[in-house]
Amino acid sequence: IPEELIESELFGHERGAFTGASDKQTGKFELADHGTIFLDEIGDMSARTQAKVLRVLQEGEVERLGSSRTTKVDVRVIAATNKDLEVEIAQGRFREDLFFRLSVIPIPVAPLRERLDDITALVQHFVSLFVKENNRRPARFAPGALDVLRQARWRGNVRELRNVVERLLIMIDRDV
pLDDT tens figures, 29-75: 999 999 999 999 999 999 999 999 999 999 999 998 888 899 999 99
Q: Given the DSSP bridges, would you call strands 35-39 and 75-79 parallel, antiparallel or unpaired? A: parallel
pLDDT at residue 55, as a whole number: 94
* Stated pTM of the model: 0.76
Q: Given CA atoms 100, 101, 102, 108 in this order, what sign does their dihedral have?
A: positive
Closest CA to 109 of 40, 31, 27, 8: 40
Average pLDDT over residues 108-126: 95
Write the single-letter amino acid at 76.
R
Q: For 2-6, 54-58, 135-139, 149-153, which range has the lowest pLDDT when averaged over its residues?
A: 2-6
